[in-house]
Amino acid sequence: MSKTMPSMSRCSPEKPNIVRYTYLSVWGVSIALSVGQVVWAEDLQPKQSSSSYQMVTGDDLEDGRNRWDALYRRRNYVYGREPAAFLKENIHLIPAGRALDVASGEGRNAVFLAKKGFVVDAIDISEEALKKARRLAKENHVTIKTIAADLNQYPLKTDYYEAIVVINFLDRKMIPLLKKALKRGGHIIFESYTIEQTQNPGGQALLRGDLLSHEELKNLFKEYKVLLYRESNDQKSAVASLIARKP
């Protein structure tokens, strides 16, 4: 089994919201693996679950965007309308302010933040996803700013956000950029999959380099004041979860 293309960083969730996908080549046939299921790459049909994976592969940015657009053109909200449980359960720890939702996808987390009084920038590689994010915001009578861009190519303002939310998305090269964009005293809310996910159904095909090692997430923000950190595995999703304050 081998990947059809080298991995490419993308900005699209939920990548959740990351729900990540890994494209593999099996006997010359491209497929997409999500947790607990196999679907044809040409007909991505993920369940509305935060236990799936999103990962665009390939070096071509436009190819990655097209893949995500094709997924998000589906009528229903692919990953649902409710925010990530970790964000919802711990929002009381985060003072309202200007927030960035990384790999926002269809906007479930961005809209939740807006409803809690945050001024939200939602960035994602897929314009199709952001169309649905804007629709979700309108249905909830809130406003969010959507940005269709790959975060690796989008210049974030320095010391601009009071909160940055990263749910199910991992690109280690972007950590320094996010740190610069966060104001002093601002909070990072980060949750992504760990290498234990390879032990769960559907996780065997995942590359360890795309997953967090034990306590890696905490160490990536070791200079921050950690308010909450945990690693958990319910046999469906193995994740590391962090809330930390920039000194």
Report if residue 80 sits inside a domain: no
Out of 28, 47, 72, a domain closes at: 72
According to DSSP, the residues that pair with 232 across neighbouring strands are 239
β-strands 161-167, 98-102: how paired?
parallel
Last residue of a domain, one of 72, 100, 122: 72
Owner of token pair 């032990």: 199
CA dist 26 to 2, 8, 78, 116, 199, Å?
7, 20, 26, 45, 20
pLDDT of 43 > 60? The answer is no
The tens digit of pLDDT for each residue in 167-197 reads 999 999 999 999 999 999 999 999 999 999 9
Q: Is 97 found in the same domain as 209?
A: yes
Q: Which CATH number goes with the domain that contains 197?
A: 3.40.50.150
Q: Domain check: are 223 and 191 in the same one?
A: yes
Could you tell me if 203 and 166 lie in one domain? yes
Q: Is the pTM higher than 0.85?
A: no
Q: Quick check: 53 pLDDT over 80?
A: no
Residues 166 and 236 occupy one common structural domain: yes
Summarised one tens digit per residue, pLDDT across range 118-157 is 999 999 999 999 999 999 999 999 999 999 998 888 999 9
Q: Is position 78 within any domain?
A: no
Is the CB of residue 21 less than 8 Å from the CB of residue 32? yes
Domain identity same for 146 and 33: no
Helix, coil or strand: residue 72: helix
Asked if the structure places residue 194 within a domain, the reply is yes
Residue 139 sits in the same domain as residue 174? yes
Inside any domain, residue 145:
yes
* Other beta carbons within 10 Å of 85: 12
111 and 135 share one domain: yes
Q: What is the DSSP string of 49-118?
A: -TTS----BSS-HHHHHHHHHHHHTSSS-TT-SSPPHHHHHHGGGS--SEEEEET-TTSHHHHHHHHTT-
Q: Are residues 28 and 94 in the same domain?
A: no
Paired residues of 192 in beta bridges: 240
Q: Are strands 37-40 and 29-34 parallel, antiparallel or unpaired?
A: antiparallel
Shared domain for 44 and 130, answered yes or no, is no
Together in a domain, 51 and 12: yes
Q: How many domains does the chain have?
A: 2
Task: Tell me which residue range forms the domain holding 185.
Answer: 85-245
User: Going by C-beta distance under 8 Å and a sequence separation of 6 or more, which residues neighbour residue 71?
Assistant: 44, 46, 78, 126
Task: Report the Cα–Cα distance between both ends of the chain, in Å, rounded.
Answer: 45
Residues 148 and 212 in one domain: yes
Q: How sure is the predictor about 74, in pLDDT bands with cuts at 50, 70 and 90?
A: confident
Cα Dmax for the chain? 52
Residue 77 lies in a domain: no
The answer to whether residue 79 is domain-embedded is no
